[in-house]
Amino acid sequence: MAKSQTDNSQLKNALSRSLIFVSGKGGVGKTVVSQAIARALSRQPGKQKGKAKRVLWVTFEDPFRPAGELKEITPSLFELNCEAQTAFEEYTTMKIGIPTLTRILVQNSLVRYLAKAAPGIHELVLLGKVWYERTRWDHVVCDMPSTGYGLAMFQSTANFADLFRGGPIHHDAEAMLETFANGTECSQVIVSLPEEMPLRESLELRDFLTRLFPGNAPALIVNRRFPHDPEDPASGRPDEDLSPLARSPEEYARRRARLESLNLKIWKEAGVRPTELLYIPPSTEPPKADRIPDGIVEKLSSELQRLEVLPS
């Protein structure tokens, strides 16, 4: 193959920003990739001599974690379970400033209903929280909800900035959009698997984000790339005439690698040169309530180190 199909410079660029959004379709490994990014960044030297960078990893409304919980993993790495009700209360306290008035607002049953049910407010409040946090850390790495809902978060911010004029929320939504569009402050990382559906959906996600934030192009990652021979002459050729089932590990490994190369043409044709992350063999540990086994995050974080995509 003449030209390498991968390019790590985009990811390296993305990881140098202070606010990093990691998005993608459900099940592609966003959580593990974003955790590995946060961990790797928290080991980089910070501005203060002898001290590492301070990094916040954010997930949104994870039912397996306490709402709004901020947890210390290492002195330089923290995890936040961002939750709308808590964030809404924090925000109104900040805006209204008078505790009695804030209480009247947030304890009102109708307002609670609207904050939860009215489309837009919920999503806006969640993004507002990470936007606020970005100035307090060297990096904030967000594990975004899967595609549709993740898009809704950015779309809601845009809606408030465009459709609903007046009021501090409108004002803050505009400021948030400005930050998200700013290529020196914020970046988007899209994670995919080398399978048809996630690859296509990632392109849609990329186009959506580029339309919303022109000039701040997302970096793309293929996660769990099956071990393959980059020189395989049959790579990327469809094998429609063969049975859909393989009969041995050798045959499966060969055909799986070729299928992935075939799938990745979807990106190649769209001009995407992604970063490829190796398939880390799965853990055999019994699952713990939505927590990723530590060994996998560690291996993936060393992989990022090896690929030299971390900012110096």
Partner 1 sequence: MSVQTPVSSRIDHALQNRRILITCGTGGVGKTTVSAALAVRAAQLGRKAVVITIDPAKRLATSLGLGNLGDQATDLSGALNDVLKTKGLPMLPTGGSLHAIMPDTKETFEGFIRSLTPSEAIARRVIRNPIFQIFSREFSGSNEYMAMQRLLGLQREGKFDLIILDTPPSRNTLALLDAPKLLARFFDERLIRWLVLPANKIVSAGMKKALGLLEKLTGGAFMTNLFEFAAALFEVRVQFSANLSKVTELLSERSTAFLLVAAPSRDTAPDAVHFVKSVHAHGFHFEGILVNRRLEHLGLCSDKAPTGTPPHVARAFEVISALQQRESLAMVDLIESIRQSNEMREEGSVPLCLSLPELARDVHSLSDLHEISLALERFNPA
Near partner 1 in 32-91, by CB under 8 A? none
Site for partner 1 in 6-35 (CB under 8 A): 25-28
Is 75 or 168 the residue whose CB approaches partner 1 more closely? 168
Report yes or no: 124 and 160 within 8 Å, Cβ to Cβ.
yes
Length of the chain: 312
CB of 70 or CB of 252, closer to partner 1 = 252
Minimum CB separation of residue 81 from partner 1 in Å reads 16
The alpha carbon dihedral of 161, 162, 163, 164 has a sign of positive
- Token representation of residue 154: 């950015």
CA angle (33 as vertex; 200, 52 as ends), nearest 5 = 145
* 245 near partner 1, judged by CB under 8 A: yes
Q: How many helices (H) and strands (E) does the chain have?
A: 11, 8
Site string for partner 1, 136-155 (x = CB under 8 A): ---------xx-xx-xx--x
Q: Which residues contact 10 (CB under 8 A, 6 or more apart)?
A: 217, 219, 220, 273, 275
Instruction: Please identify, among the stretches 136-144, 181-189, 212-220, 250-258, the one whose residues bind partner 1 according to the rule CB under 8 A.
Output: 250-258
Among 4, 48, 109, 312, binds partner 1 (CB under 8 A): 109
Nearer to partner 1, 71 or 95 (CB): 95
**What is the H or E stretch that residue 242 is in?**
none
Indicate which single residue of 45, 167, 183, 295 sits in contact with partner 1 (rule: CB under 8 A).
167
DSSP state of 260: H
Pattern 214-243, partner 1, x by CB under 8 A: ------------xxxx--------xxx-xx
From the list 47-55, 72-80, 102-110, 177-185, the region that binds partner 1 by CB under 8 A is 102-110
Phi-psi category of residue 86: left, alpha or beta, with phi > 0 → left and psi -120 to 50 → alpha: alpha
Query: Residue 295 interacts with partner 1 (CB under 8 A)?
Result: no
